[in-house]
Chains A and B, each alone.
Chain A
Amino acid sequence: MEPLLQVKDLTVAFIEDKRQTVVVDAANFTVNAGEILCIVGESGCGKSVTALSILGLLSPNARILNGQVIFEGRDLLSMTEKELDRIRGNEIAMIFQDVMNSLNPVFTIGNQLTEAIRIHMGYDKKSAKDYAVEILKKVGLPDAEAVMKKYPHMLSGGMQQRVMIAMALACKPKLIIADEPTTALDVTIQLQIMKLLADLQKEFKMSMILITHDIGLVAELADRVIIMYAGHFMEEASVYQIFEKPAHPYTRALLKSVPTIYGDLEKRLPSIPGTVPDRYQDIECCRFYDRCPYKIPSCKEAQPYFKIGQNHYARCHRAGKGELPYE
């Protein structure tokens, strides 16, 4: 089956003082119909930039140097703004972390929601309003009529995020891109929103790209996972493979360094020594080289993606040769 979205060789750079910094380096991935793909990484690894470039939402100082984003046979990167506008919201919708800045503070929720519905779906005023109320109920806001009349600041963070999800769902998109949707929320509210997203994704048979740094969230939601580090995809596999048999040394270190409430605790948390390299575009060798406990001289060469198993890839030649068995 043809994948819903195909990203090929996507390379994105930021231009500052005529200096070009590559932040996403030749990213290749696909999103299949009805699946949740998680892109995981620490801040500055390029995960949000990857997501934003799909819909052409990058900041003005960013340039897409190379690549294609093929959505149902059409290349989104070669589209005009006008053509893109027909895709945005309608077929691909986005949910942001920072809800407060994504909702307009001077219009009521009803105003903003019905506007979007009327523009995208061509409903008249009355039916747009009815539909808005229906969709707000769907995202777990039982008092939807009252919420319609409220301004964003009158709602709690959890309710605002529900409104954002309602807006994203309103046009029944085929793909939702959620950039850290629950990071700003409290744990119990985070669970509510997470469950809501997972249920709606199944009900509407949508695909979802979930951008997050929260390992726990990945384990709870993802079907497939991509681990990103310093602009590179380091590993790609099903969620079970990632957690049971991580292949790349970075993935292993990342998973171990998270303190959890599950299982035994080590006296000392295994942390990753050092820091993420700055200006990582100039690093010729494996970008995790400096921090890697398994490094050998031949890691100094540029690392391609190696096939580890079925649908399991890692950017590590030692893992590729099976030199790093998982204990």
Chain B
Amino acid sequence: MNNTDSKKFSFNGKFQENQHINPLIIVEGLKKFYPVKGQVLGRNKPVIHAVDGVDLEIYEGETLGIVGESGCGKSTVGRQIVALERPTSGRILYRGEDISHMPVSKLRKIRTDLQMVFQDSTSSLNPRKQVYEILAAPMLYHKTVKKENIDNEIDRLLDLVGLPKAMKYRYPHEFSGGQRQRIGIAKALSLNPKVIVCDEPVSALDVSVQAQILNLLKELQEELKLTYVFIAHGLGAVRYISNRIAIMYLGRIVEIADTKELFENPVHPYTKALFDASPLPVPTLRDRKRIILKGEIPSAISPPQGCRFHTRCPYALESCTTNDPMLLPVKPGSSHKVACPVLLAKGENHD
């Protein structure tokens, strides 16, 4: 990458200025444990440590990508942000208000601001309802639009996501996967939200359709001044759409940085391994040197002591098995933060 890159990401520049203002969402010490299914008896019920201490700030108008492999807790973080679930401990502030401990009646008003787009558009759209009803339901429930204006509003929404208005009387199964995902996006937009959490919105789609949906999300963001949390396991899509990226492993954030910085100077061994594992569309580079991780992600029921990555880490030291690393800036004042004291001390990539 070179200098022209920053020009292409004009949005990045705008976001840099925003960092001095207050974040729109603050996630503080978020923990979410789920009981293991099927266990009834016993005092110490085993729990899955899905999210185990996550701190995040999300700024207005940015896209924060959250990347990690299955079971790392990225979707759980997303569901807490839109208040679909209550955290086990910690809190989430939206415009300074704690939404994770708010009574439901009060939360209902804020919910219109926080919407979600799901990966599986087949199961998130009611198969017995026409698109018209699917889109009208949230507006009628929250009384955001007068009944006589619903028709116009639905036409506007379909137009926004690039579907013909005539399609509103069709059922979800009559659409292709890409079109269904457009309906999912229209549904999320129907309440004029400020924040949309996109949970793997393109993972189930074909490559050429993925590009269409990613472009649509980007256009909508600029037009409607939306803030996105974009959850994915594919680095390519995240790199394309995000201003900042957080890498998660076993319920923790191991590294967070601006997109450009992260791809140019990844520090955490897991981030590096993740980058190395992503296939490149360049056959001549197939024999490049790369970190290939051994083994698999340990169980989230009893995550490893110390650094959670030490069981698979090629750089692990004795101290990593006991010291739980904190997320620290790579340089004083830097927004690039890493939870790896070993590589930070080495100053790798940052001398």
Which residues of A pack against B, CB within 8 Å? 42-43, 156, 158-159, 186-192, 194-195, 213-222, 239-240, 243, 253-255, 257-273, 275-276
Extra inter-chain contacts (8) besides given A216-B279, A259-B210, A273-B212, CB under 8 Å? A43-B206, A189-B69, A220-B279, A261-B278, A265-B9, A267-B9, A271-B211, A272-B208
Q: Which listed residue (A254, A255, A261, A275) contacts B235, Cβ 8 A? A: A261
Segment of B23-31, B280-288, B325-333 engaged in the interface with chain A: B280-288
Supposing A42-B208, A187-B274 touch, asked if A262 and B8 sit within 8 A by C-beta, the answer is no
> Given A42-B207, A220-B286, A264-B2, are A255 and B281 neighbors across the interface (CB < 8 Å)?
yes
B236-244, B300-308, B313-321 - the one binding chain A: B236-244
Contacts of A189 in B (CB 8 A): 69, 296
Contact A261 B239 (CB under 8 A): yes
- Residue B140 CB within 8 A of the other chain: no
- What residues of A have a CB within 8 angstroms of the CB of B211 in the complex? 257-259, 269-272
CA distance A215 to B292 in the complex (A): 20
Cβ distance B61 to chain A, nearest Cβ, rounded Å: 16
- Contact with B215, one of A158, A261, A268 (Cβ below 8 angstroms): A268
From 5 to 62 in chain B, residues with beta carbon under 8 angstroms from any chain A beta carbon are 5, 8-9
Please report which residues of chain B, range 166-215, place their CB below 8 angstroms from some CB of chain A when the two chains form the complex. 176-179, 206-212, 214-215
User: Nearest CB to that of B241 among chain A residues?
Assistant: A259
Question: Is B218 among interface residues, defined by CB-CB distance under 8 A?
Answer: yes
Given A187-B278, A260-B280, A271-B208, A158:B233 Cβ within 8 A: no
Contacting residue for A219 out of B2, B233, B277, B279, CB 8 A: B279
CB distance from B208 to the nearest CB of A (A): 4
- B1 → chain A, closest Cβ, in Å? 6
Complex CA distance for A218 and B236, rounded to whole angstroms: 16
Is B280's CB under 8 angstroms from A216's CB?
yes
Q: How far is the CB of B293 from chain A (nearest CB, A)?
A: 5
Cβ of B8: which chain A residues have Cβ within 8 Å of it?
Answer: 264-267
Partner of B276, one of A191, A255, A257, A266: A191
| With known contacts A188-B277, A260-B281, A275–B207 Cβ distance under 8 A | no
Q: Does B123 contact A (CB under 8 A)?
A: no
Query: Which chain A residue shows the least CB distance to B1?
Result: A264
Establish whether residues B274 and A42, one from each chain, have CB atoms under 8 Å apart when the complex forms.
Answer: no
- B160: interface (CB < 8 Å): no
Are A259 and B206 neighbours in the complex by a CB distance under 8 Å?
Answer: no
Whether the Cβ atoms of A215 and B281 lie closer than 8 Å is yes
Which of B69, B206, B210 lies in contact with A186, CB distance below 8 A?
B69
25 A-B contacts, Cβ less than 8 Å apart? A156-B296, A187-B69, A188-B274, A192-B292, A213-B206, A214-B279, A215-B207, A219-B286, A222-B283, A240-B284, A243-B283, A257-B207, A257-B208, A257-B210, A257-B211, A258-B207, A260-B280, A261-B236, A262-B281, A264-B2, A264-B8, A269-B240, A271-B208, A273-B212, A275-B178
**Residues of chain B whose beta carbon lies under 8 Å from any beta carbon of chain A:** 1-2, 4-5, 8-9, 69-70, 176-179, 206-212, 214-215, 218, 233-237, 239-240, 263, 273-286, 292-293, 296-297
Query: Which chain B residue has the least Cβ–Cβ distance from A242?
Result: B283
State whether A264 and B4 are in contact (beta carbons under 8 Å apart), knowing that A192-B293, A275-B178 are contacts in the complex. Answer: yes
Nearest chain B CB to A20 CB, angstrom units = 22
Contact of B212 among A195, A240, A271 (CB under 8 A): A271
A228 to B1 Cα, complex, angstroms: 32
Contact flag A264-B281 (CB < 8 Å), given A192-B293, A259-B240: no
- Check B207 against A188 for contact (C-beta < 8 Å): no
Choose one: A194, A260, A268; the contact of B218 (CB below 8 Å).
A268
Q: How far is the CB of A213 from chain B (nearest CB, A)?
A: 6
A216 interface neighbour in B179, B209, B278, Cβ under 8 Å? B278
Chain B residues, CB < 8 A from A194: 279
Closest to B69 in A: A186
Report Cα–Cα, A243/B207, bound state, in Å.
Answer: 16
Q: A188-B277, A191-B276 are in contact. Are A260 and B236 (CB under 8 A)?
A: yes
Give the complex CA separation of A188 and B1 in angstroms. 24
- Which residues of A lie under 8 Å from residue B179 when comparing CB positions? 275
Distance in angstroms between the alpha carbons of A253 and B70 in the assembled complex: 30
Alpha-carbon distance between A222 and B206 when the two chains are bound, in angstroms: 20
Q: Are B207 and A213 in contact (CB under 8 A)?
A: yes
By Cβ-Cβ distance, the 3 closest A-B pairs, closest first, are: A216-B279, A271-B211, A259-B236
Task: Determine which residue in A219, A240, A255, A264 has the highest number of CB atoms from chain B within 10 A of its CB, and name it.
Answer: A219
| Chain A contacts for B273, CB-based, 8 A | 188
Q: Report the bound CA distance from A132 to B235 in whole Å.
A: 37
With A and B bound together, what is the CA distance between A142 and B131 in angstroms? 52
Q: Tell me, rounded to whole Å, the shortest Cβ–Cβ distance linking A37 to chain B.
A: 14
- In the bound assembly, the distance between CA atoms of A263 and B4 in angstroms comes to 12
Distance, CA A151 to CA B236, complexed state (A):
36
Closest chain A residue to B260 by CB distance?
A: A265
Query: Which A residue's beta carbon lies closest to that of B218?
Result: A268
A188, B293: Cβ atoms closer than 8 Å: yes
Contact B292 A195 (CB under 8 A): yes
CA distance A42 to B208 in the complex (A): 8
Q: Contacts of B284 on A, CB cut-off 8 Å? A: 240
Question: Chain A contacts of B70 at CB under 8 A?
Answer: 186
- Residue in A closest to B70 when the chains form the complex, CB atoms: A186
- Could you say which residues of chain A place their CB within 8 Å of the CB of B239? 259-261, 265
Contact across chains for A219 and B274 when beta carbons are under 8 A apart: no
- Given known contacts A220-B280, A265-B5, A266-B8, A258 and B274 CB-to-CB distance under 8 angstroms: no
When the two chains form their complex, are residues A190 and B283 in contact, meaning their CB atoms are under 8 A apart? no
In whole angstroms, what is the CA distance A272 to B135 when docked? Answer: 27
* Contacts known (A191-B277, A219-B279, A219-B281); A269 close to B215, Cβ less than 8 A: yes
Complex CA gap A42/B212 in Å reads: 14
Given contacts A188-B277, A261-B278, A270-B211, contact A219 B283 (CB under 8 A): yes
